A and B are shown apart, each in its own frame.
Chain A
Amino acid sequence: MNYKLILDIAIHLLRARLKQTIVAAVGVTFSIAMFISLVSFMSGLNGLLDGLMLNRTPHIRMFNEVKPSDNQPLSLSKDYKGNTVFIHSIKPKDRGKSIYNSMSIISALKQDKRIIDVAPKVTASVLYNSGTIEISGMVNGIDVLAENTLFKISDYIKEGKLSDLFQNNSIIIGKGLSDKMLLSVGDIIKVSTSNGTLSSLKIVGISETGIADIDNMASYTSLATAQKIVGQPKNYITDIQVNLYKKENAVAIAHEFHTVYDVDTIDYLAANVQFETGSSVRSIISYAVGIVLLIVAGFGIYNILNMMIYEKMDSIAILKATGFSGSDVKWIFISLSIIIGVTGGVFGLIFGFIFSSIIDVIPFSSPSVPSVTTYPIDYNGSYYVIGLVFALFTTLISGFFPAMKASRVDPVEIIRGK
């Protein structure tokens, strides 16, 4: 088959109907552009919302959970081996919140090539004392450097600096706490724990995450200070947080750590199921809208090619009489629709990029994500590939039926009809 000739004929036919062709191509352009900007925006938004939670959740958290022991004393008894035993009124066993052998686990994890960093943490529930008022809350003792590489908490520090936590007996309190207790940087806050120890800490900063529950309760201090507050030694660690290079592997690795180190583990997916659901629903919506737009554009192309075939019956007849076969004619019309699809699609990608860039500079601020100042856009190359593939696919389908019709035109009928 002579592709050059077929393409040449297709282009000449297009030129003869330039206006309609442009309208059809603009339909494709519009739908692809909308698809690209919609998906980029939705995905940017998804990233932002997921980031809200996921960026603060370690990929894997290791801790000791309060739960009943799997091995009750009765199961050690030889007499009842093989029997089904019923035990009533089991109480959970307190193994302590501290992770056993935490120091060697941490040093082993630091050697692991799959892991970005390890952040040990001490959490303690406390009462903040202000005059006669007591407010319950949570003190997080953190490894300042590791915590910042994993969770970028310096982004949420409104006043003061994260590095000030290196001073002894210093604390960064949540915005809600500082508002309620009228405390500001430089003041002293009294913190008491459940076992009765009372410590005075100097406020070196205020944090604001945008999540009221956290801002009203949580405060940050260094690991050593937290251990001092709860009256525990240097090896007292309640949580080990781990971030992975490939977070997709979190489930498997969490399971592995559970068996290797004999601690309870939870991966970020299990901790944030609802966010995954939300993300996938939003992507489905944007893809659905994009596909609907493309189908509409496809009908436009179908119409125009159909019209063209009726107009060009004579030309089709003579092409067939002079030696073009049915499949040649079919390919002429398929190339027509491919030309419309490709030009419309490529312009759609360009306009999609332009629209995304416009959305990208519209100001948008949210206290919960201080690093974001404009609407989020995800410039992912794969959306552009998908968009172009969609455009080609729909134009091919919508061009195929008219092309089949053209290939079946009987030249004798046309020529004798004159």
Chain B
Amino acid sequence: MKETILETKGLIKYFYNPSKFQVIKNVDLKIQQGEFVSIVGKSGCGKSTLLYLLSTMDTDYEGQLFIHNQLITGQSDQNLAKIRNEKIGFVFQFHYLLPEYNVLNNVMLPGLKLGKYSKKELEQRALKHLKTLEIDQHALKMPNQLSGGEKQRVAIARALINDPLIIMGDEPTGNLDRKSGDVVFDIFKKLATEFNQTILIVTHDPDFAHKTDRIITMEDGKIIS
């Protein structure tokens, strides 16, 4: 039997600005270990909002959220940060690399925060991830010397550094051209098949979604399939 990585029970979220509006309507969701899931839907259907609820960064919701069967709802800011650090890897539409650090250090940063491995070990692990993503030759460059696709791959390496339970992506290929987008998708695919990595991606690109294992379609704040 496969482990449940992520589970929600009756998730509800309101937006209050400009007027009270229900964005997420009673969402129940289960994601198993090793699944490659995509969430699709029209813009404004609440898919990104759902992702940020699942990411633990947005805590203003009703219902319950479990990660690895542990109740997340209501935990302190400090604990949530720790959970994000340890169990979740993020890839956003924008790469969000720190311009002051080189590629290697950017990848190592969440690992240094976790403090599980020594700096030497982290360096080795970071280089290994960069090698899997075929950008190890850029390890000592600064982020502004890389192309968009390369930056996004560095961001994926950063998401992988702490061996997260799940990688969450918000339109990770949205800013990339077709070719780089395909490269990034292939990387996700490879992570899912070869390393059995659980991945949850929000996208509005149907081609991208169709290549994933499971598609969750949302409409008007509800999961319809």
Contact = CB atoms under 8 A, between A and B. Distances in A.
Interface stretch (A213-221, A224-232, A321-329): A321-329
Interface string B146-172: 000000000000100010000000100
Contacts of B115: 2
Nearest to B109: A322
Given A12-B98, A418-B93, A321 B55 contact: yes
Nearest to A6: B113
A16 B96 CA distance: 16
Nearest to B110: A322
B170 A415 contact: yes
B96 A15 contact: no
Given A327-B78, A415-B170, A321 B84 contact: yes
B81 A320 contact: yes
B185 interface: no
Interface string B35-79: 000000000000010001001011000000000000000000110
Contacts of A323: 81-82, 84-86, 110, 113-114, 162
A16 B99 CA distance: 9
B100 A16 contact: yes
Given A321-B90, A412-B58, A418-B94, A328 B100 contact: no
A416 B110 contact: no
A74 B161 CA distance: 103
A325 B77 contact: yes
Contacts of A415: 52, 92, 94, 96, 170
Contacts of A321: 55, 57, 84, 90, 92, 96
Contact of B113 (A13, A16, A322, A411): A322
A12 B113 contact: no
Interface of A: 2, 5, 12-13, 15-16, 314-315, 317-328, 410-412, 415-416, 418
14 contacts: A2-B112, A12-B98, A12-B101, A318-B97, A321-B55, A321-B84, A322-B85, A322-B109, A325-B81, A326-B81, A327-B77, A412-B58, A416-B48, A418-B94
Interface of B: 48, 52, 55, 57-58, 77-78, 80-82, 84-86, 90, 92-94, 96-101, 109-110, 112-115, 158, 162, 170
- Give me the 8 closest cross-chain CB pairs, A-B, nearest first: A323-B85, A325-B81, A318-B96, A12-B100, A322-B110, A418-B94, A323-B84, A16-B100
